[in-house]
Amino acid sequence: MPGNMTRHWYASILVLASIPVLVLTIACVSFPQPGDGIRSLNSSNGPLSAPAQVGAREDEAFRHSTASETGSRVRFNAKTTLDEAIEAAVNRGGQTIEDARRLITQRKQWPAAHRALEAAIQDGIIKYDNIRLANAVALYQGSSLPASVRLFENLVGSGRPVARQMGWQLAAAMPSRALGSAIERELGRAISENDEATVLIPQMAVAVQANAMKSAYTMVRQGLMTTGQEAFALSMAQLDPERASSDFLEYLAIASPEELRQLTQNSVNVYTCLIALKHLQSHPAPLSHPHAEHLVYYAVSRNNALADLAQGAIETYLPRDRAQVAIMMSRLPQWAQIAYVESARRHKTPAVTLLLGELKKISSSNDVVEEVDEVLR
């Protein structure tokens, strides 16, 4: 498996925002893991709701299933049979999977391998340990043939957390119209049976995005509001950018102004907030949104990464809606207005200078007016 992704916030956001579809694979091919590109909330962001706890347990099981190659590498030759190549890949993983994939491709044996692997995975849901199941799915995803809908349904319908995640991963790595229909049926089942906790996991969000299922946006949004994990925000931004902007403000507003004045946030996932604020820079939400003023609270946050992105989101309104932004700010508590004016020293662009001039005209606080004069002097 590749090493952990860098946690530098700016690099994370640029990379994540630029990838339209995250293809999740196991062993040889990269896939998101909790603590890497998609981080679990139970590490540092406070207590989780019940569905989020289920997702955290599944992510933990999934992580343990992704061990590197076990044992020595098998060397294939002209005498190696298809069954032997598949068995070696399943048992050893790592580079052996890539070697088996190359061998099957060279021999043009994917139709036979596809059938054999499907049968092996079906049995492996019960018989394989996590590592071997992961290896089998990884090799299966190398097939150029469409993924089996029945296999997806059996994986996600199993009571085994790792198998369920691998089913969603399969749908993300091998999207098709048939799998899209199967995903829709599975999400519908979860809703009708009040079983959303089993599907509100990051792999589902990526599968929905990969299959361009805009109809599943509401379920993905529920995943964001329930778990706060980044995968849901990324999926929402791709499925419906304009709608996502308003929903991101709803999520950002979970953190109170008092919490944002602290160095750490417990009620929201900071990495998800970074994704949301970055998105709002290119897709501004309506200023009439009831939580639009929360952008100001983030702009004065003690977390500089959040503050810089929030300031950028505010500046997207300034060319045309400067007066409306100033009116919104004038309704905030005095401390928030002063904090924003002080932060403007770091962002003293012409647009921000004009905004402060507007705020000075309408603010009812003499202290705010004096602070603006000090900055503009």
Q: Tens of pLDDT along 103-153?
A: 999 999 999 999 999 999 999 999 999 999 999 999 999 998 999 999 999
How far is it, in rounded angstroms, from Cα 291 to Cα 325?
13
How far is it, in rounded angstroms, from Cα 237 to Cα 275?
9
Say what the pLDDT of residue 348 is: 80
Size (the chain), residues? 377
Say what the pLDDT of residue 59 is: 55
Say what the pLDDT of residue 168 is: 97
Question: Which residues of the chain register pLDDT less than 70?
Answer: 1-72
Question: pTM for this structure?
Answer: 0.80
Tokens of 286: 């309506």
First to last CA, the chain: 56
With a CB cutoff of 8 Å and minimum separation 6, the contacts of 313 are 277, 280, 281, 284, 295
Tokens of 240: 């419906």
CB atoms within 10 A of CB 191: 14
Q: Tens of pLDDT along 281-325?
A: 999 999 999 999 999 999 999 999 999 999 999 999 998 999 999
| Torsion sign, CA atoms 365, 367, 368, 369 | positive
Helix ranges (DSSP H) in 228-349: 230-239, 241-252, 257-260, 270-282, 294-299, 304-315, 318-330, 334-343
Say what the pLDDT of residue 69 is: 54
